[in-house]
């Protein structure tokens, strides 16, 4: 596991965008797993910059998003403040700014009439394209990936999940409050890839910033593996794992100095 500690959010975002860009450049038809939330916004902005200024080419890239609220979906005829869907978020933050093909974008459909069937279909699509090369992940304050709330099985698959109170609070503050939507009116359920689905991605990269995530970062990376903190499953992944943190998010890691030392040595020896 590579744990990279960067000075601030901007540097964390640039590093993460560079990792993603490297995948796209070495395998132009790569399959990326993408995340939402406030954390990846800087990473997406940097990718957009690379597309515009350096010609980073998304024309053969396929993407699968982790999750979507149930009951919302991208309806572009609606005014923005009425649609807080993750589909809308992805479109606004990344997709509309790069040359990705619409048919290569997969996001769970929050407006589906048959969630169970849709979840199975979603899993099949991931298999059909040969699996995910790199899955980008944020981290919820209760330690979730996607919407795999505490108690989700570490082998779980794409399914409907009820949101924890803490998650509703955080996501209300971050997205729904700004759109003048009452907390009681925001979706309380979501479709999410499971932990088992995420672990099948060949490589994963988790990005986390800010002091308020410092406790959960330490538990996730250095604590015991438990379904009460679903992201501790990171310790079970067999591929390349990159964790990019800012100083604040890394501040409660007991081995932070060691991770910094390893990173420095790798740079000195020219190891990626």
Residue closer to ligand GLP (CB basis): 31 or 137? 137
Q: Which among 144, 170, 200, 246 is annotated as catalytic?
A: 144
* Residue 194 is a binding residue for ligand GLP (CB under 6 A): no
Nearest to 135 by CA among 32, 47, 19: 32
Q: For Cα atoms 68, 228, 254, give the angle at the middle one, nearest 5 degrees.
A: 110
Residue closer to ligand GLP (CB basis): 58 or 69? 69
* Residue 73 is a binding residue for ligand GLP (CB under 6 A): no
* Residue 227 is a binding residue for ligand GLP (CB under 6 A): no
* Residue 37 is a binding residue for ligand GLP (CB under 6 A): yes
Can you read off the two tokens belonging to residue 122? 């979603």
Answer yes or no: 144 catalytic. Answer: yes
* Residue 42 is a binding residue for ligand GLP (CB under 6 A): no
Q: Determine the interface stretch with ligand GLP among 74-82, 138-146, 240-248, 254-262 (rule: CB under 6 A).
A: 138-146
* Residue 214 is a binding residue for ligand GLP (CB under 6 A): no
Q: CB of 18 within 8 A of CB of 4?
A: no
DSSP 71: T
Q: CB of 65 within 8 A of CB of 47?
A: no
User: What is the maximum span of the chain, computed from C-alpha positions, in angstroms?
Assistant: 55
Q: Which among 46, 123, 149, 200 is annotated as catalytic?
A: 149
Query: Min. distance of Cβ 39 from ligand GLP in angstroms?
Result: 3
Residue closer to ligand GLP (CB basis): 104 or 231? 231
Rounded Cα distance between 244 and 253, Å, is 13
Can you read off the two tokens belonging to residue 136? 């980008």
Q: CB of 149 within 8 A of CB of 195?
A: no
- List, by residue number, the catalytic residues: 67, 142, 144, 149
Tell me which residues touch ligand GLP (CB under 6 A): 35-39, 66-67, 138-140, 146-147, 167, 171, 174
């Amino acid at each position: 596991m590579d744990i990279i500690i960067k000075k601030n959010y901007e540097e964390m975002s640039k590093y993460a965008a560079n990792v993603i860009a490297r995948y796209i450049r070495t395998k132009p038809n790569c399959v990326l797993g993408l995340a939402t939330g406030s954390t990846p916004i800087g990473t997406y902005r940097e990718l957009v910059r690379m597309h515009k200024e350096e010609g980073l080419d998304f024309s053969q890239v396929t993407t699968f998003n982790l999750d979507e609220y149930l009951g919302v979906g991208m309806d572009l005829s609606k005014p923005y403040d009425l649609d807080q869907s993750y589909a809308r978020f992805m479109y606004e933050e990344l997709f509309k700014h790069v040359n990705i093909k619409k048919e290569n974008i997969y996001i769970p459909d929050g407006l589906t009439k048959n969630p169970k069937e849709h979840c199975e279909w979603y899993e099949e699509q991931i298999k059909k394209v040969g699996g995910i090369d790199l899955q980008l992940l944020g981290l919820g304050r209760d330690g979730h990936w996607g919407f795999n709330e505490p108690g989700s099985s570490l082998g779980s698959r794409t399914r409907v999940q009820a949101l924890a109170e803490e998650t509703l609070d955080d996501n209300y503050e971050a997205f729904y409050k700004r759109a003048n939507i009452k907390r009681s009116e925001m979706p309380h359920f979501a479709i999410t890839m499971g932990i088992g689905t995420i672990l099948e991605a060949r490589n994963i990269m988790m990005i986390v910033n800010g002091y308020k995530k410092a406790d959960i970062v330490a538990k996730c990376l250095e604590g015991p593996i438990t379904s009460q903190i679903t992201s501790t499953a990171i310790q079970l992944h067999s591929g390349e794992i990159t964790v990019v943190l800012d100083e604040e998010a890394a501040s409660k890691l007991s081995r932070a100095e060691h991770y910094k030392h390893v990173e420095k040595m790798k740079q000195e020896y020219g190891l990626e």
